[in-house]
Amino acid sequence: MNRKQWTLLAAIVAAAGFIAWLAWSSRQPPMLPSDDVHAGFDSAGACLSCHGSGSALPRSSRHPLGDDCLRCHGRR
């Protein structure tokens, strides 16, 4: 490969890396699933009954503080 091809390849790799970084850094919180369990969601208390600390499916330790679930996790 000549110098021009190497330069083009490097530019493509750099662009792909930048796009991957943008995709990773702008992650959005997941939306509420549209299933029967979440259909009756009406308050943060209902959410925390399953996702509170010590429950069956607790939030991750990296989850931000706050219990206003629909502010970040809206419906589909």
pLDDT tens readout for residues 10-50: 999 999 999 998 888 777 788 888 888 888 777 778 888 88
CA-based angle 70:54:27, to the nearest 5? Answer: 40
Residues 6+ apart with CB under 8 A from 12: none
Query: Which pLDDT score, from 0 to 100, does residue 62 have?
Result: 85
Per-residue burial over 14-27, b = 16 or more CB atoms within 10 Å of its CB, e = otherwise: eeeeeeeeeeeeee
CA distance 34 to 40: 10
Q: How many CB atoms lie within 10 A of CB 45?
A: 10
